[in-house]
Amino acid sequence: MVDIWSKEKRSLVMSKIKGKDTLPERLLRSLLHKKGFRFRKNVKRLPGKPDIVLPKYRLVIFVHGCFWHLHKNCYDGRIPKSNISYWKFKLQANVKRDKNNVQLLKKAGWKVIRFWECEIEKSEQKTIEKINKIAPK
Ligand SMILES: [Zn+2]
């Protein structure tokens, strides 16, 4: 069976351990900072431990790793071809948990924006537009 990733790519993906700062997260934070938004990061007391929280706008932002959260139609969001059932179970559980956390947050009156890592990497403009819609500056 052919692995969908090169060795390099796989180790890159595997090194993106959940909860750790990823490059897109850092990009997003510096973008928010540049635009003058005030935010807190890794807020543990909220469901899903959101990566970024803008208290003024009661807005929660998640940055989802394409691999760990199964980004549809994304190269990085594919289930590996080896240990399929293991990965399917694990990754689909993440997606389920995400949905549940969003529901809990919304019920508590939070607005939620979810970014995919590849989305942030692709366009700074679109990223900030998505935020401005909910948190006008
Ligand atoms: Zn993606």
Higher pLDDT, 95 or 21: 95
Residue 80 DSSP class: P
Split at pLDDT 50, 70, 90, the class of 2 is low
Compute CA distances 47 → 17, 29, 35, whole Å.
19, 20, 26
Neighbours of ion ligand 1 (CB under 5 A): 66, 71, 74, 116, 118
Higher pLDDT, 13 or 127: 127
Q: What is the pLDDT of residues 79-92, one digit of tens each?
A: 999 999 999 999 99
pLDDT for position 22 = 84
* Alpha carbon of 16 to ligand 1 centroid (Å): 14
Pair of tokens at residue 119: 């989305």
Split at pLDDT 50, 70, 90, the class of 123 is very high
* Alpha carbon of 17 to ligand 1 centroid (Å): 16
Compute CA distances 128 → 26, 31, 72, whole Å.
14, 8, 22
Are 67 and 16 spatial neighbours (Cβ–Cβ below 8 Å)? yes
Q: What is the pLDDT of residues 38-82, one digit of tens each?
A: 999 989 999 999 999 999 999 999 999 999 999 999 999 999 999
Strands (E), 1-137: 40-41, 52-54, 59-64, 111-116
Q: Residue 52: count other Cβ atoms within 10 Å of its Cβ.
A: 22
Residues 6 or more apart in contact with residue 36 via CB below 8 angstroms: 137
Are 51 and 61 spatial neighbours (Cβ–Cβ below 8 Å)? yes
> From edge to edge, which strands make up the β-sheet containing 52-54?
40-41, 52-54, 59-64, 111-116
* Alpha carbon of 71 to ligand 1 centroid (Å): 5
Higher pLDDT, 24 or 20: 24
Split at pLDDT 50, 70, 90, the class of 137 is confident
* Alpha carbon of 114 to ligand 1 centroid (Å): 12
